[in-house]
Amino acid sequence: MPDNPIPHPAAVLFDMDGTLVDTEHLWWQSAAELAVELDLTLTDRDLPEVLGRAVEHTAAHLHRASGTGRPEQELVERLNESFSRKVAAEVVPRPGALALLAALQGAGVPTALVSASPRRVVELVLDGIGRQWFSVTLAAEDTPRTKPDPAPYLAAAARLGLDPADCVAVEDTPTGVASAHAAGCAVLAVPSTVPIPAAERITLLESLEQADLGLLAGLTAARPL
């Protein structure tokens, strides 16, 4: 045993889109393209209904905002197909993401991928960045409710056999932060598009390149007793 072992958290639970991989713009493109077909133009006011949201939520928003007579399920399928096609063609890791995953793996820290995207998209991303980084992966279909509900992060911690309060969640949207915070995780937020306000047990960074084992360990160590 080293004299001064590097401290680390019990586990780190990563969001996927916009956090580990640069796919939020692909999701926005998919939604914007479908909106045009519905005679609707998306603006910044639509960001909270699109980014960080499950496909069903975004489809319902487009259905409601456009007043289209097309079934919501058809919009869900169109969004899924468009986004999957774009992700298959372009999986780009966010700066610092792979280096942080490698550091966690080297230190023996378990990690989970906790995504609101469908399993088909999660599998495409895992094919691109490597599934060896994660002990557990959860997609939208794996819990009865997805983000901003805490269910995905509660499920990830349970599968790892850990208390969520001992885990750090890494997120990029207010929706994901709300989910992780409600589950009781410490949260490291690296905003990708939408600003995230500072709050108790939420730490903001500009990039994952600024994150290391010591910082992550400090987030859980600082939890209230």
Catalytic residue (choose from 15, 142, 149, 172): 15
State how far the Cα of 125 lies from the Cα of 130, in Å rounded to an integer: 8
β 202-204/136-138 pair status = unpaired
17 given a catalytic annotation = yes
State how far the Cα of 27 lies from the Cα of 79, in Å rounded to an integer: 8
The distance between the two most distant Cα atoms of the chain, rounded to a whole number of Å, is: 67
Q: In what order do the strands lie in the sheet with 167-171?
A: 136-138, 111-114, 11-14, 167-171, 186-189, 202-204
15 given a catalytic annotation = yes
Catalytic residue (choose from 17, 46, 142, 149): 17
Annotated catalytic residues are 15, 17
